[in-house]
Structure 1
Amino acid sequence: MKIEQIYTGCLAQGAYYIESNGEALIIDPLRETQPYIDRLTKDGVTLKYIFETHFHADFVSGHLDLSQKTNAPIVYGPTAQPEFEAIIAEDNQIFEIGNIKIKVLHTPGHTLESTTYLLIDENGKESAIFSGDTLFLGDVGRPDLAQKAASMTQEELAGMLYDSLYNKILPLADDITVYPAHGAGSACGKNMMKETVDTLGNQKKMNYALNQPSKEAFIEAVTDGLLPPPAYFGMNVMMNKKGYESFEKVLSQGMTVLTVADFENVAEQSGALILDTRANGDFAKGFIPQSINIGINGDFAPWVGAMIVDVNQPILLVTDVGMEEETVTRLSRVGFDNVLGHLKGGFSSWIDAEKEIDTVHRITASEFASQIEGKEVMVVDVRKESEYAAEHVEDAYSKPLAYINDWINDIDPKQPFYLHCAGGYRSMIAASILQARGYRNFIEIEGGFKAIAETQIPKTDFVCQSKVLK
């Protein structure tokens, strides 16, 4: 038996490939399926099942394409109602793959169909659980995402999650390995560990949610401090439940090469959003007017989802040369399939054509320090609330990037301000959105708070973020 965790950092997502005696199963596959096909061919094994732990909200699974290519059936837990052919398993049902078995444990609470898969090895020993979004390392799945579909409150779903964890997961042996669907950085939980594999015994000791004195205490603990989910989550759920365009077709369209003239024409005719995925430093020096910058080398896909929201939004890409396919692939992972093409030759071709460009007024942290010395200025910090609470520039305003659509209209276009995040990635996203909407009254700070912290600019006392989160 072989178990491989296929972890995708930009989504903080874990898919699983398990092989035994000529047969394999895959749990929660990513959108692009060719790597799985290649692995099956290399190992000379047949894919017997594709297991889905639930209808994912934060990414589009590759279950449909993978099933079509391999003829392997898709398996969901009890109560799932996909709009395509699938096996809807019963609680405690056993599936055999080679010399191993998978036992279905219906564990609702994150969603109603949420299911944990218990692996029984070739010796008949219960050896691992694939817990989806039911149990994370250091946390549990948020119980607020399925409220509307379930016609239940988050407290009612949290109570259901308690029953699932305390009645079905906690009684399992301490030496069982826990393989969750997500790790730190995912919006599906609030306090996940950076590690991606652990023992159930260790989780029983240190996971706050598994150490509550009562059901009431559990409900209060897991619902406390939940931030609103990204707006694109519901759209991804629908794609996973109803179906979607094949990845190959999405990739083919996104790889359409557009000359500068074609790019302009398509932009004008389609109303497409121009997404520039270059590094924030390069973007600041010059970009196509009205472009939005979300760098590919960062938490790209989640920020695309949070900022653009509508998965049907037409998109035109400006990327570093050679990064076009990677960008289209990452967009497809969160359901943004309507990429109309990319600018041939990248931004340099726009420069060569002597087209109009825009820039962001960016200064270093030391320049920021010298400019504000002895003055009263407005500083906008777009980091998360927990980062701001841990330490920030004195008198700075907390305006998290995730909520920019809520606070942007409160900005006085005549009031100058300074803008920063932790390192420059998020503040450049904010800067591009601000300028696209007509705001020119700010200066963005290169290197963000990390660089600011090295200056003499007055800051609040540091507070450990783990304490802030409690």
Structure 2
Amino acid sequence: MTVEIIETPGLGNRSYLAHDGHMALVVDPQRDTDRIRTLLDRAGVRLSHVFETHVHNDYVTGGLELARSLEATYVLPAAEKVSFGRLGVVDGEVLDVGSMRMRVVATPGHTHHHVSYLLTDAAADEMAVFTGGSMLYGTTGRTDLLGSEHTEPLARSQHASVRRLATEAAATTRVLPTHGFGSFCAATPADGDDSTIGRERERNPALLLDEDAYVSQLLAGLSDVPAWYARMAPVNRAGPSPVDLTPPETAAPQELRARIDAGEWVVDLRDRAAYARRHLPGSLSFELSASFLTHLGWLLPEGMPLTLVGETPEQVAEAQRELVRIGVDDLAGAAGGPIEALAGKATLASLPRASYEELARARERTDVLVLDVRRTAEHADGVVHGSVPIPLHELLARRCELPPDRQIWVHCASGYRATVAASLLAAHGYDVVLVDGCLRAWLESGSPGGEAAP
């Protein structure tokens, strides 16, 4: 029996494909299912079942489309209310997939009706447990996505569910969660990229702490989640439309200018250093990296026309693939190639960049305001003295708090979010300097102007 891991770093999630050489099953697939089809074809196996551990809050599922198109059985917890046909399963139920068996284990906590699936082979040996948002690596799934009134009761259910898994599964059973690889669905950052039930018995807080202590720790660690999370469960309950990765219409230089002037978002996918050197005035920097989907998806106003600008068509296609995973399907257009060509006759803009050493000197000036766009919880890692904290995801709503007559020096932890923030502020007419560098390294160097965590 083989288990393939399908990584989706932009979401911080994993999907899984398991097969016995003839029949296959898939667990918690993301929306771009062509990746799974490629694995099925490569292995020469037929898809029999698609299993969902829960109705997802952080991405549009590809499970329904995959099951329909390949005539597989779509499996969901029976108590979930959805608008389409599926096989509803309950605790203790066993489904055969070729020589493999999947036993349903009720593990409420991340959601009310969450289940895990215990996978065994033909010899009835436990091979793995697909834990979704229940037991993660050194942590658990968060319990606050269904509303504040459910958070604590679900946290108590989560404690019991993880303990049940640790009791019913063997120590050697491989733990295969969906969340926890950067996903905001994890209560706290996960530890590592592989684990077993035995390893989790030694380190998972749900197994080491009593119920009250675990609940207190989990609730204290919860932070804001990306704005798109509120839209995902309704889409998944209604049944997502088939994914369409057809390239968007090409936008000419004059169209790019007109869209920016109209207040639409024209997003530059190039690396932030290239953006700072030269970019279309009024365009916004969201470098195509592991952080791209989180921050663009979080900040993009609902219904805002979106045009992508990249160095190559492949870069645009990669960004489009990321965006459909959270339901951003309708791009206004795209453009690729050297930025000089995309500008046409317009003059390109630049964004001043500075080091933390330069920031330490500049912060003493009366015409400078230092803006920290990290999340509040990150301030425990250290701060720049005198900085004004506005988390990036609150910046659009709170930019009126920034004085228009002062130069804004923007920083974060590494430079990614600071570049996003600087581009947003510059597009609204602020005089901005991007502080691009590693905050932790500067704080630990002992340079004056900052305070490192104790």
- TM-score, normalization by structure 1: 0.89
- 1:235-256 per-residue CA deviation (whole Å, 9 max, x = no partner) reads 12222221233223xx21x432
Asked if 2 retains the 8 angstrom alpha-carbon contact of 1:258 and 1:341, the reply is: yes
Equivalent in 321, 325, 329 of residue 317 of structure 2: 325
1:199 aligns with 2:196: yes
The one-letter code sitting in structure 2 at the alignment partner of 1:417 is I
- 1:184-223 per-residue CA deviation (whole Å, 9 max, x = no partner) reads 421112323342220111112111222222x333322221
Equivalent in 232, 236, 251 of residue 236 of structure 1: 232
Question: For 1:39 and 1:448, how far apart are their aligned partners in 2?
Answer: 39
The one-letter code sitting in structure 2 at the alignment partner of 1:210 is L
Offset at residue 124 of structure 1 (A): 0.8
Which residue does 1:302 correspond to in 2? 294
Check 1:451–1:208 CA distance in 2 against 1; reply closer, same or farther (3 A cut): closer
Question: For 1:129 and 1:257, how far apart are their aligned partners in 2?
Answer: 45
1:162 aligns with 2:159: yes
Question: For 1:169 and 1:240, how far apart are their aligned partners in 2?
Answer: 30
Question: For 1:42 and 1:389, how far apart are their aligned partners in 2?
Answer: 48
Asked if 2 retains the 8 angstrom alpha-carbon contact of 1:109 and 1:159, the reply is: yes
Which residue does 1:131 correspond to in 2? 131
Which residue does 2:177 correspond to in 1? 180
Check 1:212–1:171 CA distance in 2 against 1; reply closer, same or farther (3 A cut): farther
Offset at residue 267 of structure 1 (A): 6.3
- 1:310-345 per-residue CA deviation (whole Å, 9 max, x = no partner) reads 2x4321111121311111101111221121220243
Structure 1 residues 11-410: aligned runs within 5 Å? 11-147=11-147, 152-213=149-210, 215-248=211-244, 251-252=245-246, 254-264=247-257, 272-308=264-300, 310=302, 312-321=303-312, 322-345=314-337, 347-351=339-343, 353-372=344-363, 378-410=369-401
SS at match of 1:198: coil
User: What CA RMSD, in Å, does the superposition of the two structures yield over aligned residues?
Assistant: 2.4
Offset at residue 111 of structure 1 (A): 0.9
- 1:359-379 per-residue CA deviation (whole Å, 9 max, x = no partner) reads 323223343345457889532
SS at match of 1:240: helix
Q: Which runs of 5+ in 2 are unaligned?
A: none
Q: How many residues align?
A: 452
Which residue does 2:412 correspond to in 1? 421
Asked if 2 retains the 8 angstrom alpha-carbon contact of 1:18 and 1:24, the reply is: yes
1:6 aligns with 2:2: no
The one-letter code sitting in structure 2 at the alignment partner of 1:188 is C
SS at match of 2:232: helix
Asked if 1 retains the 8 angstrom alpha-carbon contact of 2:275 and 2:285, the reply is: yes
Farther off after superposition, 342-351 or 78-87: 342-351
SS at match of 1:123: coil
Farther off after superposition, 402-411 or 8-17: 402-411
Question: For 1:99 and 1:70, how far apart are their aligned partners in 2?
Answer: 20
Asked if 1 retains the 8 angstrom alpha-carbon contact of 2:61 and 2:240, the reply is: no
Check 1:66–1:266 CA distance in 2 against 1; reply closer, same or farther (3 A cut): farther
Asked if 1 retains the 8 angstrom alpha-carbon contact of 2:372 and 2:412, the reply is: yes
Q: Which runs of 5+ in 1 are unaligned?
A: 464-470
Farther off after superposition, 393-402 or 452-461: 452-461
Farther off after superposition, 258-267 or 48-57: 258-267
SS at match of 2:334: strand
Offset at residue 385 of structure 1 (A): 3.0
- 1:268-297 per-residue CA deviation (whole Å, 9 max, x = no partner) reads 78x642111111111122322332211102
Equivalent in 415, 421, 443 of residue 433 of structure 2: 443
Asked if 2 retains the 8 angstrom alpha-carbon contact of 1:101 and 1:119, the reply is: yes
Check 1:189–1:432 CA distance in 2 against 1; reply closer, same or farther (3 A cut): same
Offset at residue 58 of structure 1 (A): 1.6
Check 1:265–1:433 CA distance in 2 against 1; reply closer, same or farther (3 A cut): closer
Check 1:309–1:162 CA distance in 2 against 1; reply closer, same or farther (3 A cut): farther
Asked if 1 retains the 8 angstrom alpha-carbon contact of 2:10 and 2:291, the reply is: yes
Asked if 2 retains the 8 angstrom alpha-carbon contact of 1:179 and 1:196, the reply is: no
Offset at residue 16 of structure 1 (A): 0.4
Question: For 1:275 and 1:265, how far apart are their aligned partners in 2?
Answer: 14
Asked if 1 retains the 8 angstrom alpha-carbon contact of 2:250 and 2:335, the reply is: yes
Farther off after superposition, 41-50 or 374-383: 374-383
Question: For 1:309 and 1:181, how far apart are their aligned partners in 2?
Answer: 27
SS at match of 1:419: strand
Offset at residue 144 of structure 1 (A): 0.6
Offset at residue 451 of structure 1 (A): 6.4
Which residue does 1:467 correspond to in 2? none
Asked if 2 retains the 8 angstrom alpha-carbon contact of 1:267 and 1:316, the reply is: no
Asked if 2 retains the 8 angstrom alpha-carbon contact of 1:365 and 1:451, the reply is: no
Asked if 2 retains the 8 angstrom alpha-carbon contact of 1:232 and 1:309, the reply is: no
